[in-house]
Amino acid sequence: MTSPDQTPTKSLSDFVRDTAERDNPGDVFELESPKMLEVKVGGAQGARGRIWSKLGAMVAYKGNLTFKREGLLEGGIMKALVRAVSSEMEPLAKIEGQGVCYLADQGKEITVLRLTGDGLNVNGNDLLAFEDTVSHNVTMHRRVAGMASGGLFSVKLHGQGMVAILSHGTPLTLRVTPQTPIYTDPNATVAWSENLQPQIRIDANLRSFLGRGGGETLQMMFQGDGFVVVQPYEEHAGLRSDDSGNS
């Protein structure tokens, strides 16, 4: 038994064994740990494949893979406009070739979802990776005048394939009904139903209760029939409480 003042230790061989990758053949996405995603790119017999990931999320890889930043004009003029003015929405990276790569982001927890013809909206900062069979579009949620100061953007995903999303801590999913709208802190909002279109509201009276206060407080209001996913953490990158105006 280890005494309170003694640090637990293990041999190098035990450490290598305990932290070695564990292969589960079949799935393109596999969680090596709650905070590390293994992605198998390409099929058998050296077939090339493509995966989309958050820029800068690759921590290691093996095989014949290339990593390319998503082109400014890739996906159309609207996507290019959003990227040009948004300080929150990071460009995506294309991972192409045949091999295995490992993705992570700031120690956040990873949840792997499988879309089967349905869709999901994900906060741009909380999208880790998705298969090439899943279509994606960037959506703006603030008026154009507020975009230069850092607007709120999400990525709308739809189709067949696997998606990996990020959260600080274990996410909570809240049910939205026509009778019960849900209000969230944008900095804690991870994802929401494909059919929901959140409205951005400002309520100075809640500045001491939502977020970290200081000025007018932004809220996301979800109405309709669906769900919204929140995390027990507030990310303060992009949204500023001194922006005015509604969507």
pLDDT, tens digit (0-9, with 9 covering 90-100), for 120-140: 999 988 999 999 999 998 776
Q: How many residues does the chain have?
A: 247
Q: What is the pLDDT of residue 199?
A: 86
Average pLDDT over residues 159-184: 93
Q: Quick one: DSSP state of residue 145?
A: G
C-alpha 183/C-alpha 186 separation (Å) is 9
The amino acid occupying position 18 is D
C-alpha 156/C-alpha 140 separation (Å) is 11
What pTM did the predictor assign? 0.76
Average pLDDT over residues 134-149: 60
Render pLDDT for 37-88 as a digit per residue (tens, 0 to 9).
999 998 765 668 999 999 999 999 999 999 998 654 455 555 555 555 554 4
The encoded tokens of residue 98 equal 């045949």
